[in-house]
Structure 1
Amino acid sequence: MLNGITGITARINDIEHRISSMTQQTAAKTASAVSNTSQAFASALASAVHGSTAASTTSATTGTTGSTASMKVNSAGIPEDLAAFGNGKIPANALGHVGNTNHKLWAPAAEKLTQMIADAKAQGVNIGITDSYRPYEEQVDLARRKGLYSQGGLAAKPGTSDHGWGMATDLDLNAKAQTWMRQNAAKYGFEEDTPREPWHWGFKPEKLQ
């Protein structure tokens, strides 16, 4: 009888040991899974953070395209930075505001025009602006309203205007300002380049004095 009880007790102890061992193994696997999940989450979070930083850096770089634009032009006189976009399709980050106005030009041209207007004002000469960068749709509308220059009107064929490259501006000039422009505009890269339109001034970076 005693031997039977001892055997049963040993059997119970063996079962309890196995149960304990299985519990420990399950806990270890669970902890490992939690650890792996935590590591995966941390890795994903770090990747997202670094990716976001990289995207922000790229965006910032893209956003400064205008300020770092090259003054180089191709054989047609079009800035190399703009040629691939197409006339009248210049992206906003390649354009710059002229002073505190809503007028925009190719960034280097906007910078030079802003400087020129400020210098003229310091000398008692006021220069206003009536037009600047002209998207393709606006070129089409202008040609419809004012006629093509080649036919006696005042608009270039849509897709060919210097305004469409952000390389021309129409200025509001009185006699004094017109004289000042003819004497000084070349220093800032601007040229009175369109017959019948004394208000039209094109930016010629290759001719900067």
Structure 2
Amino acid sequence: MKVAIFASGNGTNFEALADSQELKNAGLEIEVLVCDQPNAKVLAKAKQRNIPTFVNRIKDYSDRHAYEQAIVEKLAPLKIEYILLAGYMKVVTSTLLSAYPNKIINIHPSLLPKYSGLESIQRAFDAGESETGVTIHYIDSGVDTGPIIRQATVPILKNDTAETLEARVHATEHQIYPEVVLELLKK
């Protein structure tokens, strides 16, 4: 299965996917990393793994449609079957959605529908929740509203700080995202 991974930051979920021997053995081919931040750490991680990158900044385009159309044009010759969002901090709109219907998957650090959008872990922690988690879902035209594929709960412990909670949420992400992608590969 040929995929593009989209990321904006450190790239820990990118690493979890790219370094999974089980995914490689099952046929995962990461054709390109698409990144909207030219200084993101994930770019170096892709380079270390000999994965091509495409840096595409929205400010270089007249509007979001033109920005996403450039991505569609980049991906078309690569025969991408799925787009895996891994910390991609842009809302996906109709241009990409129509080019890849039901083929864009996101990972979000909360138990959606709770705490959609940004700063999900911090907001759950500040609210005094007893648990939070991770959701993997298909992208639709809303923000973090698409059909849920899988969720995993992460308890918020009495001695947690926002940082320790975040570390446990990320560890859960790194475990379940490759598992979900593996399930897709087996279909």
TM over 0.5: no
**TM-score normalised according to structure 2 size:** 0.27
TM-score, with length taken from structure 1: 0.25
Greater helix share, 1 or 2? 1
Q: Which has the larger radius of gyration?
A: 1
Which structure has more strand as a fraction of its residues? 2
| Structure having greater relative contact order (Cα 8 Å, sep ≥ 6) | 2
